[in-house]
Amino acid sequence: MTLEVISTNRSFGGTQGVYAHDSQQTGTRMTFSVFVPDHVPDARLPVLWYLSGLTCTHANVTEKGEFRRDCAEAGVIFVAPDTSPRGDDVADDEAYDFGKGAGFYVDATRQPWAPHFRMRSYIETELPALLAEHFPADMTRQGITGHSMGGHGALTIALRNAGRFRSVSAFAPIVSPLNCPWGEKALGGYLGDDRGAWREYDAVALIEDGARLPYLLVDQGEADGFLEGQLKTQLLVEACEKAGQPATIRMQSGYDHSYYFISTFMAEHVAWHAERLKA
């Protein structure tokens, strides 16, 4: 697969790059960022995926996530994809929570979304293959995290792909799209009215249906304005307790939904993943 280098910059003893390629899954040009720590020749490094939230691109966490120092020290590659296909031919919606910037990490089945909105397959299959081809990534040592809609993506992708990820965490994830306005709008719009088909895109439902993770770390701000209406962290707490799913779900006093919150706890998440991604 051909890869275009958009930019590279030295940072904290590593290289922060932004790249683009023509995606077969989305049928569009896709952009993503990768931070690679300095390493000895022929070394293969563990990978931490970060999936972003509504309205975001790869750039939000790349510029504001404050992960590079910790990834460099731990020797962990950090990958940040976009949140949706983009381009003049890609269907869109006027609202911020649907269409471009709001792919919800699903493979759409309804028109006009189905031709391009295939972010599940892009993240689960196409981008990992490209990463393995062009970067010193040890694909046997992968972790995944994400924020909000991206937290939903991280949890559901890990739950559907048993054994792929050694570590899974999230910042303020949408834990049950079946039970919140963002999720009902997105899943209904992309997939149709059959709520049974939505369950594979709902972390709480997947846990109820028997999917498991090796362990889970979640941080959620108590001052997050989306907590009660959209994120509903308590549903994940209850599902994990009922299923015996090991999890540390921390409510952080005073923190909101912003990158000030994410960057505060990013170092702890990187270290937590790095410990589980050791050779």
Catalytic entry in 107, 224, 269, 273 = 224
Contact between 19 and 34 (Cβ < 8 Å): yes
* Residue 22: active-site member: no
* Residue 148: active-site member: yes
| Bond from prior residue into 136 cis (ω within 30 degrees of 0) | no
**φ, ψ for residue 247 (rounded to 5)?**
-160, 145
* Residue 257: active-site member: yes
Catalytic entry in 148, 167, 169, 176 = 148
CA dihedral 88, 90, 91, 97 (to 10 degrees): -100
- The tokens describing 62, both together, are 């790349």
Catalytic entry in 58, 152, 257, 269 = 257
Contact between 160 and 211 (Cβ < 8 Å): yes
What distances in angstroms separate CA 106 from CA 1, 123, 145, 165, 191, one per listed residue? 23, 10, 16, 19, 9
Residues acting as catalytic residues? 148, 224, 257
